[in-house]
Amino acid sequence: MKSLEHLNDNMSDSDSDVPALVPSSDEEDDVKVIKTNDECVDIWLSKNVKFLEKQEHNIHIFSLGPFIMGLETFISKPWMFCLNDAKLLVDKVYREKTEYSKLTDDEWANLDILDVVTKLVVKKMRRRKFLVNTLNMIDKIEEFNRGDGIDVKHSIQTATRYNHINDFVWDKALILPQLRDKQQKVKFAALYVCKLCHMVITSLAREGKDIAEDFKKSIRAKCGGVEKALDFKDQGNQQYSQQKYSEAIRLYTDAIKADHFNHLCYGNRAQAYQKLENYQEALADGRRAVLMKPDWIKGYYRYSQAFYHTGKIDMAIAINKKGMRICEKTKNNDKMLSELKDQGQKLQFQKDGVASDEVLHQMIKNNRMDDSVPEQIRNFPGCTVINIESAMSQWSQKRFSQDPSVLLSSDDHDSSGRENWYFVEPFSISKSLPNLKSQKGRKVNQTGERQTKPVATEPTPIPVQEKVKEKIVIVQKNENKEIERYMAEGSSAYLNGLGKKAVASYQKALDLLSNKKAEDFGLDQQDVAVLEYAYGLADISTGIYKHILDGIERLKNITETHKDIRLPLPYFGLGKAYITLNRFEEAIDPLNRCLRMAGTLKLNVLTWPGTDTKMEESISDELQKQVKQLLTLTKYPPVPDAVCKIHTDKEDSRALIFFSDPDFKGFVRIVCLTSCIVEFHNHCWKDFKSRYGEKTGDKDILEKPCPTPDCMSCIVKVIIIKQDSLQKEITADKTEHVASKPKKPALKLPPSSQDKIEKRKEKKELRKQRKRESKEEEANDLMDDIESVSALPTVNEQCSITSIEGIYILKLFI
């Protein structure tokens, strides 16, 4: 006690030099203690509703930020690398999308995936059980961090053990038709959003930090800040008011760079883009504006406008209705609500007009007259001749059935009883036909003589003929725009490596051509041939066996139906197709033919359909160069992965097998005792087995004679290479065969059950090994004792060792 008192006295003497201690608060104590996931969730749910709504909105912004704005996020780099592996982020480096507002089709698709799963996750962020399971799931996934990224497949496999992510996010997202074929993207996108939630909740509970708001402040401080952004925005507004839209866009972009989170800058830039008719850019900025401020009503108005101008009327109507719902919940927005209602009515009117145009298009197709019309009328440039009486009857029944004032006049029928035709002129008539220009819009009879009476007068209401004329003009002009758009979309998709999308767009263009003559769209036979050639290349670029065969048929069809054009490109496409199929010998003939034509014909430089982009292969020198490269490849083809030695397929003569074959279905390899190797196609393998009976299995072939001539050995191994390149071995060795038996039922189990079985086996083996080691140690210790006893200087001692149930007993006899 004295020593303690003495120590206390000494400490009190030196207290004057030490500053007074500050008592710690409860908050500081909480920060120091590492809380469990359950405690973190409880702290999160204890916050007020306004705070939680703000955090949920921040999660939405930062989950979509890297995809729509190239925005940096506070999520760890391994997760960002994994977004690239999952093909959710198109570029490995963040693109600065504030520089150019337009997004690619892939970026739009990935953005929609992230938007759907984020809304599903955020919707459950006030459910305690869901949040606890989410935090536990992310912790489990991060245990397998491989340093440079999270493994996508393993993360998804780990997450499948947690029912909440399956039931509330994955299943609901994959119900949507546009997401059904994107399962991996959808599942990992949900895990990425869950990781953001994990960081927000744990940072708040364990460190007392609002990580999202802190990150916003750091980005603004680094880029310029709010005041600088407002200054640029005001300058942009001034330029916009002076109709200097390009300069306004530049200033709005500078404002966005200074403050990435200002919804007004995105909305104003979207409006400026619309003035310049850059509707794709306006669409992207409209999306950004409503993301930054979901209750900004004017943002929905402009977003809907952009959708309308890009031809997506249904989406425009949906966004308009969403804006009206938000507007009705807020006060003092009567003016904006009125504008949204007017916009909605106009959009619905446009949608109904499109539907009526489709009816009209069918009417024109059904009442078109070609063979029975005189040649001088039938060949009238840029026009369609229809049966007016039949067309009017059909049109009045479908379109004007509820308007009794609009009827056919009896004066519009030809008293001679001959059928009447009506000219529909979509374009201005060529100057080379001045004598016909003044007669447009008049009736003609079967002899080709023009009647003096005009088709339509101008009473009130306007006769149906004039209405039909106006509608047909619109339809045919729209058709020309449509075919140009489809061709341009197809070419753009092909050049960007999107083969399936290119195929779909080219098919739509050819569908329009199938209903009318190419001349009606201003296309000649060479244009059609080039379109079909581009379609064939798009088919080949998909890498799908069926599409490649379709592309080959299309290219062959060009050579047969367009013989007058003398175009070498179809033969070039055939050569590429056969090489894609690894049929190198079949590629030689079309490539040689293409090379001869390129050397003798004078080729015109062509462009990809619907664009101004030159076709490199339409330039003679470039075409010859590419053909020679392909011919070199056919002369020195790659080594095949296998060769079918006993080929029995009469329909397909190919014996070479490549893993890169688009139609690769696997093969079988057998090995005999003297190491002979014989390989088969799957169907050839079935034929080979049938020699020993119809029900002969793969195992039954073991110990059968080797099929190699002059080999007296037997088959000892069968290796089955499957379509996914995985191998299965069957050997004649009984020990290996027995060892493989336990694996058979495991194939039917789900991955999670298989993992449990493997872990149980490992634990069992570990227990056996430890037991053996402990016994060995006991035996060694006992032998040491025996040696020490035998070393004693006593002569009359006798000892014996007995073992009872594994326990060694030392008996000493003296």
Specify the range with the lowest mean pLDDT, choosing from 391-405, 422-436, 772-786: 422-436
pLDDT by residue (tens digit) across 71-96?
A: 767 777 778 778 888 888 765 444 44
Mean pLDDT over 535-553 rounds to: 90
Token pair belonging to 148: 């440079």
Q: Are 187 and 114 in contact (CB under 8 A)?
A: no
* Strand ranges for 381-484 from DSSP E: 384-387, 421-424, 442-444, 450-454
- Which has the higher per-residue pLDDT, 30 or 307? 307
What is the per-residue pLDDT for 801?
Answer: 44
Alpha helix locations (H) across 259-333? 263-275, 279-292, 297-309, 313-329
Q: Say if CB 714 and CB 705 are below 8 A apart.
A: yes
* pLDDT tens by residue, 411-435: 333 333 334 444 443 333 233 333 3
If one compares 636 and 84, the residue with the highest pLDDT of the two is 636
- Region 453-482: mean pLDDT is 47
- On whether the CB atoms of residues 291 and 68 are closer than 8 A, the answer is yes
Q: What is the mean pLDDT of the chain?
A: 75
User: Pick the residue with more confidence: 258 or 358?
Assistant: 258
Residue with tokens 């056996």: 768
Confidence of residue 172 (pLDDT cuts 50, 70, 90): confident
Reading the block at residue 49, the tokens are: 């509703």
List Cα–Cα distances, 375 to 426, 531, 722, 747, in angstroms.
Answer: 20, 29, 63, 72
C-beta separation of 362 from 394 below 8 A = no
The yes-or-no verdict on residue 401 having pLDDT over 70 is no
Q: pLDDT class for 776, splitting at 50, 70, 90?
A: confident
Q: Tens of pLDDT along 2-53?
A: 343 343 344 333 333 434 434 444 444 444 456 788 889 899 999 898 898 8
Predicted pLDDT at 462:
37
Share of the chain above pLDDT 70, in %: 71
**pLDDT (average), residues 52-66:** 87
Specify the pLDDT at position 752. Answer: 57
Residue with more model confidence, 39 or 781: 39
pLDDT band at 264; cut points 50, 70, 90: very high
DSSP string, 466-485: HHHHHHHHHHHHHHHHHHHH
Residue 812 pLDDT level (bands cut at 50, 70, 90): very low
Residues with Cβ within 8 Å of residue 580, at least 6 apart in sequence: 540, 543, 548, 662
* Res. 362 pLDDT band, cuts 50 70 90: low
- What is the length of the chain? 814
Q: pLDDT of 690-737, one tens digit each?
A: 888 888 888 888 888 898 888 888 999 999 988 877 888 888 764 333
> What is the arithmetic mean of pLDDT over 59-79?
79
pLDDT over 50 at 488, yes or no: yes
Q: Would you say residue 747 has pLDDT above 60?
A: no
Q: What is the pLDDT of residues 105-157, one digit of tens each?
A: 888 888 889 889 999 998 888 889 999 999 989 888 887 665 556 788 888 88
Is-contact 212 219, C-beta < 8 A? no
Decide if pLDDT at 668 tops 90: yes
Instruction: Tell me the CB-side half-sphere exposure of residue 761, using CA atoms within 13 A.
Output: 9
pLDDT at 5: 38
323-351 per-position pLDDT tens digit: 888 888 877 677 888 888 888 888 887 77
Task: State residue 271's pLDDT score.
Answer: 92
As a whole number, mean pLDDT of residues 364-369 equals 59
Domains, the chain: 37-222 (no CATH), 226-332 (1.25.40.10), 471-635 (1.25.40.10), 642-731 (no CATH)
How sure is the predictor about 482, in pLDDT bands with cuts at 50, 70 and 90?
A: confident
Give the DSSP letter of residue 168.
I
- The helix-helix angle for 313-329 and 297-309 (nearest 10°) equals 170
| The most confident of 335-344, 581-590, 761-770, 772-781, by mean pLDDT | 581-590
Give the pLDDT confidence score for residue 24 in this predicted structure. Answer: 42
Look at residue 247 in the predicted model and tell me its pLDDT. Answer: 92
